[in-house]
Amino acid sequence: MAKCQFKKGKGKTCSANAQVGKALCVFHDPGMAAKVQKARQAGGVSRARKVAALAADTPDHPLGNTQDVSALLAVSINQLRRGQLDPRMANAIGYLSSVLLRSLEQGSTEERLAKVEAILGLVMTSQELAPISTATNETPLRGF
Ligand SMILES: [Zn+2]
């Protein structure tokens, strides 16, 4: 296929294929300028297509406990299946939900542990811990 004969400057010619029966490619053919412009606009429009997202004034979904997060996941899965949620957004929701679930579960474990420690009297105050930390700085065999 013949190359476009358009001169780009510095003696270089266009490297695109010329149109059949013409010396120029579609980008350098003045008769094709309007069509090229339309095609570029269509490309821009399809790239800028808005993702399926909720309206900006949608109230926050509660996320205070694991049941709340499970409910959000259930709703999101159904929105995704209906094409109402962008798959990339669904991926992000899935990832953030897993992080949030881990955080919520960690919090409840720490709370339960604190209650158990309080019941068993295992929680030491900082004053109770202080002599232990200073003792480790001394040489235990000093004087022998
Ligand atoms: Zn060209």
Distance 141 CA to ligand 1 centre (A): 89
The reported pLDDT for the residue numbered 111 is: 85
Distance 48 CA to ligand 1 centre (A): 27
| Type of residue found at 29 | D
Distance 21 CA to ligand 1 centre (A): 14
Ordered by start, the domain boundaries in the chain are 11-41, 66-122
Residue 47 has pLDDT above 80, yes or no: no
Taking only the tens place, the pLDDT of each residue in 80-117 is 999 888 899 999 999 999 999 999 988 888 888 888 88
Taking only the tens place, the pLDDT of each residue in 23-44 is 999 888 988 888 888 888 887 7
CA distances from 105 to 18, 58, 64, 108, 123 (A): 64, 27, 11, 5, 22
pTM, to two decimals: 0.46
Distance 144 CA to ligand 1 centre (A): 94
CA distances from 119 to 34, 70, 110, 138 (A): 80, 32, 14, 34
Confidence of residue 132 (pLDDT cuts 50, 70, 90): low
Distance 119 CA to ligand 1 centre (A): 82
C-alpha of 101 from chain center? 17
